[in-house]
Structure 1
C-alpha cells in the first residue's frame, strides 16, 4: 500500500474517556451549542419565574430619595440584574484597557 493511500491515524482518546457508541466522536457545531444554551436559558427562566411567584410579599424599598413598595421577588431580580450590569461594565472596561495596551506595545518578531 502506498503512503499516500494510508488513512490518517485517529487521535487517541483522553485517559478515562470512553468512546461514544459507534466509535466516532460527536461533532460540536454552532447550532448545537446554540441549542444547548437556549435550553439552559429556558430552564433558568422557569426557575426565575418560580422564584418570583413564590416571593410576592411586599417589600418597602428606598433608593436615592425614592420610596415605595414592590414585590420582594421583583426587587431581588432588579438587584441581581443591576449587579450583573456593574460586573459587565467593569469587565468591558478592563478588556478595552488591555486591548489598547496591546495595540501600543509592539510585538517582537518570531
Structure 2
C-alpha cells in the first residue's frame, strides 16, 4: 500500500528529489562530498582550503600585539617610579627607573635597526651589481 501518488516501481517514492546545482548531484544527507570527485569548483575550494592568511589579518594581529606590549610597558613604568640619577659624559639626569630602562631598550632597538638597515643596503647593492653583470652578456 503506497502513501504517495508516485510510480510504485520507484523504491524511494516517498523521498522527494533534492535540489541540483549545475548538474552536480547533491549527496544524500549524512554523507560528506568527495573532494576528489569531479565538480565545477576550484580544487582548493573543493578541498575546503580557502584563504587562510591575509595582509589585513596580519596587520590586525600585529596591532593587537603592539597594544598589549604597550600596556605591559605602561604597567612596568608605573610600578618602577623610583627616581634614579644617571651620569652620561658629565651630565646628570634624574629619571624614574622604568623610564630609564625604557630608553635603554629603545636605544638598543635603534642600534639593531641601523645595523640591519645597513646590511639590507649592502645586499641590495650586491644584487644590483650581480644583475648588471649577468644582463650585460
TM-score class, shorter-chain normalisation, is 0.7 to 0.9
State the shift of 1:42 in Å: 0.7
Distance of 2:55 and 2:103 partners within structure 1: 31
The aligned length equals: 97
Q: Does 1:56 align with 2:90?
A: no
State the shift of 1:26 in Å: 5.1
Q: 1:41-80, aligned counterparts within 5 Å? A: 41-80=66-105
Give the counterpart of 1:84 among 109, 129, 134.
109
Unaligned runs of 5+ in 2: 1-22, 24-37
Match of 1:35 in 2: 60
Distance of 2:42 and 2:49 partners within structure 1: 15
- RMSD over aligned CA atoms reads 2.7
Moved over 6 A (4+): none
Deviations 1:16-67 (A, max 9, x none): xxxxxxx554532222221111111110011000000000111110112211
Unaligned runs of 5+ in 1: 14-22
Secondary structure of the residue that 2:43 maps to in structure 1? coil
Q: TM-score, normalised by structure 2?
A: 0.61
Asked which structure has the greater CA Rg, the reply is 2
Deviations 1:78-105 (A, max 9, x none): 0000000000000000000111111112
Question: RCO (CA 8 Å, sep 6+): is it higher in 1 or 2?
Answer: 1
Match of 2:128 in 1: 103
Match of 1:18 in 2: none
